[in-house]
Structure 1
Amino acid sequence: MFKFNKDKKIIFHKSDIGFVRSKNEDYSWSGTNSIMDNLLIVSDGVGSYSGSDKASQIVAKVFIKSFLSREYLSMDIKHWFEKNIQRIKSIMNEHIKTNPFHYHMATTLVLAIVIKKEAHIFWIGDSRAYLVNRKHANLITEDHNLLNHLINMKASESEIYKYGKYLSSITNSISCVNDTKQKYDYEHITLKSNSFIFLASDGFYNFYELNNLYDIISNDSNKDIISDELISNAITNGSNDNISFSYFGIVKNNL
């Protein structure tokens, strides 16, 4: 059986309505299953669509159930992800039969499943994953938004400039409106000691200096207090959205 020699694992999550929104359309989760693998989730309901708070819950709960049953052990990890996306779309379709005003419900997703020390990171939309260590926080994901779409299409600076405030608009989300195969991105990272996988919604990462995270989250003695302080700092820095994060790290035990 795999052991973390002289290392300790730190895992936690938090989701908060924030200071401006009337309800929380985010959903975050972190957990460990019976064989000591770990799952992190942040889903951010698309606020312009009715029912998106329900969409973010559906996405998270489907993956949580599958993870706790260890279904991923019986198949390729990408197939596991795609299979659960199909389940999610089916559940959404059933939901809108009795809630037709939720037809456009949609959500982003960033998910990390950590099997031993191997982190498999999937994302759809602009919720992000970072690799955090003592020196800095490196962005793992690339936002699925109009700006990056235009950059990848090699648009000129003048073409990009004319879209102005719309550049942050997301170009990919989970919904049941589009029947085409769900697009997503994937990265694989071997997690080393004294590092964290940190997932966050835009209500947090746009309003917090993430290079300062390691010293804060590596102290697991008061995680509830620490998470409340992180949220408070994001609000102080002007966050106008729901605020969510989920993280898992391996820290050298000096004892």
Structure 2
Amino acid sequence: MEQAAMTHIGLVRQVNEDGYALLLDTHPYRVVMVADGMGGHRAGEVASSVAIEEVESELRQRMKEGIPEDVSPLELVTEAIQIANQAVYRRASSTPGCSGMGTTIVVALYDRKEVWLGFIGDSRAYLINKESIRQLTDDHSLVNELVKSGQITAEEANNHPQRNILTRSLGTDLYVQVDTLHTPWVKDDILLLCSDGLTNLISEEIIADVLRGEGTMESKLQQLVNLALQKGGNDNITVVAVRNTDEDEERGDGR
């Protein structure tokens, strides 16, 4: 597998409220994740950091202990996100300046043959191959609800003034619904996780073209970040990608 990750504060924000992690030494599944925090006075940065740390800790512990045969990967990722949700909620309830903070999160467990996703909010996961780019996640956002109900078009959603309003996030309530998805993947497929600082500015077609191009995964992610900055960089930008090499070599950093 070839893995890479990159984050950038952007050109407008004072704090990078995005977070990510790559767990390349866990078995039987490797893990990548992205979170995009929200809340004033650095609270969004706290929310995304706590969420990433809690999911990582839980998944590492569960895989170290050994996963029972009757526990599916989707159950594993759901439980880890639920634990992170309660941790963020408790921190928000007990820490001055953090009241109401929350975060998106998208977590992917994967092996050579399959990918298992858990997600809340509007950070996305895509699967890219030679023919197509497919959004695996479903945005928990107001504009996505408007699109699905036919009130606005997908094109109108891209520039809607309320496009950043979430209908579901991690940490704002004690209990939250985690959406999940399972998909097979094959050699040379690319899994991309990203915050909306990328997808609000760069089209899916351009994202796919860049990732299919020549060069290392790190260089292609740098190209995506540069394109978002050229478009104004009005939010934090975080991208994590995994290419299925159908081999066990490891590339990329841990966080």
After TM superposition, is the score higher than 0.5? yes
2:8 aligned to which of 10, 13, 16: 16
DSSP 3-state at the match of 2:235: coil
Cα pair distance change 1:215/1:155, threshold 3 Å: closer
Distance 2:133 2:169 in 1: 25
Q: RMSD of the TM alignment (CA)? A: 2.7
Question: Per-residue displacement from partner, 1:157-214 (whole Å, max 9, x unpaired)?
Answer: 59xx9xx522442111001x423x3122221111111111101111112223212133
Question: Per-residue displacement from partner, 1:233-254 (whole Å, max 9, x unpaired)?
Answer: 210122210000111111379x
Distance 2:143 2:126 in 1: 20
Aligned to 2:146: 150
Q: Which stretch has the larger CA shift, 103-112 or 73-82?
A: 73-82
Aligned to 2:179: 185
Aligned to 2:19: 27
Cα pair distance change 1:246/1:168, threshold 3 Å: same
**By how many angstroms is 1:136 displaced?**
3.3
Distance 2:176 2:90 in 1: 18
Q: Is the 8 A contact 1:17 1:243 kept in 2?
A: yes
2:18 is aligned with what amino acid? D
Q: Is the 8 A contact 1:51 1:105 kept in 2?
A: yes
Distance 2:152 2:208 in 1: 29
- The question of 1:204 aligning with 2:212 is answered no
**By how many angstroms is 1:32 displaced?**
1.5
1:85 is aligned with what amino acid? I
Aligned to 1:6: none
1:214 aligned to which of 211, 214, 218: 211
Distance 2:111 2:67 in 1: 10
**By how many angstroms is 1:95 displaced?**
2.6
Cα pair distance change 1:102/1:232, threshold 3 Å: same
**1:53-202 aligned within 5 A:** 53-69=45-61, 70=63, 73-74=67-68, 75-96=71-92, 98-152=94-148, 154=149, 156=151, 165-175=161-171, 177-179=172-174, 181-202=175-196
Normalised by the length of structure 1, the TM-score is 0.81
1:184 is aligned with what amino acid? V
